[in-house]
């Protein structure tokens, strides 16, 4: 059980870091444009976006391995850990405000993950 949770934490962290890299890559870009020039210069040559692509592909390949190794009914609900990591990333990396209701939600998600992992 502990091994499954640790693997899920790693996979979820990879997904969240991929999303953080996407946000960092989009942060300083000019307004989105559907042109080949824009896509080449602003998207493909954007280092943060390429880091995001690598992380998200790796996370999904890792997810395939997890699907083969563990019961779906146990590992899929644990992907909700991403909500916690995402909120903490918003708080610490992007300096966003997090209200008390969001913290209550985090506690509820963590309790749910605990009960699912206990099965």
pLDDT of residue 7 exceeding 90: yes
The number of domains in the chain is 1
| pLDDT at position 1 over 80 | no
Q: How confident is the model at residue 119 (pLDDT cuts 50, 70, 90)?
A: low
Tell me the mean pLDDT in the region 102-119: 83
For residue range 58-101, list pLDDT tens digits in order: 999 999 999 999 999 888 888 888 988 999 999 999 999 999 99
Burial of 32 (0-12, 13-18, 19+ CB in 10 A): exposed
- Would you state the structure tokens that stand for residue 67, as one six-digit string? 């699907």
pLDDT band for 21, please (50, 70, 90 cuts): very high
pTM of the model: 0.83
**Cβ atoms of residues 11 and 68 within 8 Å:** no
Domain range for 79 is 2-118
């Amino acid at each position: 059980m502990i091994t499954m949770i640790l693997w899920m934490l790693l996979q979820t962290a990879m997904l969240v870091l991929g999303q953080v890299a996407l946000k960092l890559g989009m942060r300083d870009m000019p307004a989105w444009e559907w042109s080949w020039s824009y896509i080449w210069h602003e998207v493909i040559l954007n280092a943060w976006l390429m880091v995001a692509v690598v992380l998200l592909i790796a996370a999904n390949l890792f997810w395939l391995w997890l699907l083969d190794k563990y019961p779906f009914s146990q590992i899929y609900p644990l992907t909700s850990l991403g909500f916690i990591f995402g909120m903490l990333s918003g708080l610490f990396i992007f300096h966003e405000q997090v209200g008390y209701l969001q913290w209550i939600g985090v506690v509820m998600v963590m309790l749910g993950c605990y009960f699912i992992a206990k099965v």
